[in-house]
Structure 1
């Protein structure tokens, strides 16, 4: 026997606008993930993000769905990173038992094309990079980025200001380290 739910007030539609949400933001969520992990994992992260969105579609804020989706994607990425670390530790223990330990390939990608900026960004903490990427690459407002980061607008503004300052300092340090160092010659005593 199949039960049919009556359509009426308070009964959500089966789709609840999810198809429009998918069409509007899937590529952006995939790009967000692809800048942080390898392409295959990025597709998994985007799929998991939208699975969570489907399950929680009644709770997606109508005025800022993209920021909400990126917050979910950020959490999915964090779970993926923790899982990968656990798998690598387990793999290492298993390899140690049979004596054929092999190095694990690093699948991380460069953060940006320009090596100078990439080196400076890599010298920053993950938190600083995230703040800069949300504003610079994802083109979110401070309000939206604060939602993704899980903090208040004021806290995110401070975080962003400090991250920009640290990036400037890292770039300045790279610039000075690329120049030849002039060593003064000591006078010889006769």
Structure 2
């Protein structure tokens, strides 16, 4: 295959048939998409130019255009089907978590301002979810002493949360709302 001769022949065929191929495509697809399809037709034609008849390439190019248009129509149908499937999906509301994140950061800042002993009491009750007798054993004190320490640590945390700019307790679901006044088992905390 002599590329210079093929390039010259393709250039000649392109110039002679472009308008006819474009008209063929425009009659079968929206005019806004016609140029892209015609470009695809001539790309396929260049790749398979050795199959093109030497004498009259226009009918062969119409065949290439017909198959290219069929591919475009199939892609459009797949797109439309997918659009219908997606439209039929139930809508999901996405909650804005910015407030909860800000509340948690505010609570973390207040927690970090507590003494290490208050932090440890709260960690044992809230994070480790230990019962008061078990948490007391960890700290080496009685259950009653642990419950008093827990009550005081919660109160100090609430004060710190309020004093660092929050007029109200953080939103529901944050750790500050998991600080009940009762001093039952650590599971209540």
**TM-score bucket of the superposed structures, by smaller chain:** 0.3 to 0.5
Q: TM-score, normalised by structure 1?
A: 0.44
Q: Which has the larger radius of gyration?
A: 2
The answer to which structure has the higher helix fraction is: 2
Q: TM-score, normalised by structure 2?
A: 0.45
